[in-house]
Structure 1
Amino acid sequence: MKTKEWTILWVLGLIWGTSFLWIKIAVADVSPLVLVGFRTLFASLGLGAIIYHYRESMPSWKELRKRVPDFLIIAICNISIPWALISWGEQYVDSGIASIINSTMPLFTIIIAPLMIKEEGITISKIAGLITGFIGVILLALPNVQSGWNQGLNGMAACLLSSVFYAFSAVFARKKGTGLPPQLQAFLQLSMGSAIIWIAVFATEGIPALPNHALTWVALLWLGLLGSCIAYILYFYLLHRIGPTRVSTTTYISPLVGVLLGIIFLGEPFHWQSFAGALLILSGIFIVNLKNKKVELEPAD
């Protein structure tokens, strides 16, 4: 990768690393669905303003109409479901733990990518990385397992499932989302995702309760404008420049930021199982990205 791409990758990882802190703060005041609803709403408004500014260079509705089904799938799998899962999960797990679990996304990507993109082959190093990473997930869950099935494990499972959706949507977006400006790709998925979430909010909660604290509004604005609007412009730019497997390595950075912020601002503990689990997951991601040209399995068509 070039210096510009490395820089954007680090900026994206830092932005998303802060998101787990703000989610933890906001979900203490509003429901998970309302949190995601405001996050996607603010992101859509920000992206809408950017799209309007560059409207002369944007494709026409006639060109976009046939792409709507693809971006509806991306909106559901990359926004609505995983964001709701993470927000729900952070009611029961520390923000640092949620950020570590989120870093499993590249491990799921190496399973899904070969099924959809022929160039993304399965190698021995990827298999070794996958096994290493999931041993880390098991180690991470051990403190909760010892006390039987509980809400902590439910929260971890929700965060882990969100990584599966992220991985699928990254591969799907690489395959189906090409040919549009990054700003427009981000706007399409976030605006559709916002509509889906608000339908779910009114269907399940009726008229939702608004945030009671000023800090919650700060969290929602941060998550919407920086953690979603700006972040997804950077994400889609990288996705089509370096591919889903490489762009998913932002998760090297996010857990380090998420854990540190959780300890400093929320007083979250960090046990040795968390450290060992994070180390194994990140080691797995590192192994996945090792060059292994001698032994390669035939990818699926």
Structure 2
Amino acid sequence: MQRNTVLVVVSFFAIYFIWGSTYLWNKIAVTELPAFMLAGIRFLTAGSLIFIISRILGYSLKVTKQQFKNSILAGFLFLTFGNGVVVWALKYVDSGFAALEVSAQPLVVLLMMRVLQGKKIQPMSIVGVILGITGILLLVGQKQIIAQEGALFGMVLIFVCMTSWSYGSLFVGKADLPKNFFVNTGYQMLTSGLSLLVMSTLFGEQWISPIHWSTPVIWSMSLLITFGSIITFTAFNYLLRIVSPEKVATSTYVNPIVAMLLGWYFLDENITLQSAIASVVLLTGVYFINSKKSLTILSRFSGKRIPRKVKD
């Protein structure tokens, strides 16, 4: 694929700042809308739009039965369970806190590879694991945060989400999925959107018609669907074909910082000194884990077959 410098710069801006902004948009939307309904509408709409765009571009939507089943499972791990749980958790924790906790996902992937696949953890990664765990303990050990109603529950939800995403990262590395990444994303989003709406019904969430949404929620949902779910993912996959995965992986360090600053500026979320220290320690650990000398296949930045996600 021919390299376009302007397009590369724009794509990096998307994965750095738009993905980091999705935490803010989700936080705004979830203050009014039920979590699973919110995520369900987001992915159902985005998946439908992707199929329409795919047809316009002449992409075939035909997939095998096994590819369809694998897309459903991958979509469940990444979007239905993973993203849906994060949105739910945002009802209880700040958006910046959630983004920072999620940034520890490479640590969870690495440990899961060790447990499930028996992969040896390299020395650089061991340093990263130690720093990562230290950063997480500093982050969640803040009394002023734990004292908030539902905060501990929100922390647990995010950890469960990371476990789902981590297992999904390993699953898609071997699964037979649709060859066209755009079509693959469409199937995952569409099926996940439907399953999220089913979950919303089972949980007894009270659906709110779009005509009753406030202006901030309408804007947040529009941004999540167009930029968070379609544009940024396309930019992400474009970069994976043009530049090295290591460079694409640098968004791991930028997203939580963007989320924290936006949450502080727009939502008056408090950034404590301990949170700042925790972020430095945790992201340094992630850096060591993502090092070329360490074991790769990390999070959504691992090789050609990666989690087909929209950043929380």
Q: Same-fold call, TM > 0.5?
A: yes
Taking the aligned partners of 2:215 and 2:146, their CA distance within structure 1 comes to 37
Taking the aligned partners of 1:115 and 1:232, their CA distance within structure 2 comes to 30
Partner of 2:39: 36
Shift in CA distance, 206/257, structure 1 to aligned 2, threshold 3 Å: closer
Taking the aligned partners of 2:8 and 2:224, their CA distance within structure 1 comes to 23
238-247 or 87-96, larger mean C-alpha shift: 238-247
Q: Is the 8 A contact 1:132 1:284 kept in 2?
A: yes
Q: Please state if 1:266 is matched with 2:273.
A: no
Q: How does 1:223-242 map to 2 (within 5 A)?
A: 223-236=224-237
Structure 1 stretches lacking a partner, 5+ long? 297-301
Give 3-state SS (helix, strand or coil) of 2:132's partner: helix
Q: How does 1:138-287 map to 2 (within 5 A)?
A: 138-144=137-143, 151-176=150-175, 180-205=179-204, 208-210=207-209, 211-236=212-237, 249-287=250-288
Shift in CA distance, 70/238, structure 1 to aligned 2, threshold 3 Å: farther
TM-aligned CA deviation for residue 223 of structure 1? 1.0
TM-aligned CA deviation for residue 7 of structure 1? 6.8
Taking the aligned partners of 1:252 and 1:93, their CA distance within structure 2 comes to 20
Q: How does 1:33-182 map to 2 (within 5 A)?
A: 33-55=36-58, 57-58=59-60, 61=62, 63-113=63-113, 122-144=121-143, 151-176=150-175, 180-182=179-181
Q: Is the 8 A contact 2:145 2:151 kept in 1?
A: no
Shift in CA distance, 5/39, structure 1 to aligned 2, threshold 3 Å: same
TM-aligned CA deviation for residue 23 of structure 1? 0.8
Please report the RMSD computed on the Cα atoms of aligned residues, expressed in angstroms: 3.1
Instruction: Supply the AA of the counterpart residue of 2:123.
Output: I
159-168 or 217-226, larger mean C-alpha shift: 159-168
**Higher share in helix:** 1
Give 3-state SS (helix, strand or coil) of 1:40's partner: helix
244-253 or 13-22, larger mean C-alpha shift: 244-253
Shift in CA distance, 260/286, structure 1 to aligned 2, threshold 3 Å: same
TM-aligned CA deviation for residue 147 of structure 1? 5.8
Taking the aligned partners of 1:157 and 1:200, their CA distance within structure 2 comes to 19
Taking the aligned partners of 2:288 and 2:275, their CA distance within structure 1 comes to 20
Shift in CA distance, 246/75, structure 1 to aligned 2, threshold 3 Å: farther
TM-aligned CA deviation for residue 249 of structure 1? 4.6
TM-aligned CA deviation for residue 233 of structure 1? 3.0
TM-score normalised according to structure 2 size: 0.81
| Percent identity of equivalent pairs | 23
Q: Is the 8 A contact 1:13 1:253 kept in 2?
A: yes
Deviations 1:199-218, CA, capped at 9 Å, x for gaps: 11223326612353121111
Partner of 1:299: none
Taking the aligned partners of 1:177 and 1:95, their CA distance within structure 2 comes to 34
Would you say how many aligned residue pairs link Structure 1 and Structure 2?
289
Partner of 1:22: 25
Shift in CA distance, 6/111, structure 1 to aligned 2, threshold 3 Å: farther
Taking the aligned partners of 1:111 and 1:243, their CA distance within structure 2 comes to 24
TM-score normalised according to structure 1 size: 0.84
137-146 or 74-83, larger mean C-alpha shift: 137-146
TM-aligned CA deviation for residue 42 of structure 1? 2.3
Q: Is the 8 A contact 1:144 1:152 kept in 2?
A: no
Structure 2 stretches lacking a partner, 5+ long? 296-312
Q: Is the 8 A contact 1:128 1:287 kept in 2?
A: yes
Give 3-state SS (helix, strand or coil) of 1:227's partner: helix
Shift in CA distance, 196/214, structure 1 to aligned 2, threshold 3 Å: same
Q: Is the 8 A contact 2:146 2:152 kept in 1?
A: no
Instruction: Supply the AA of the counterpart residue of 1:45.
Output: S
Deviations 1:223-249, CA, capped at 9 Å, x for gaps: 122111223334455668889887655
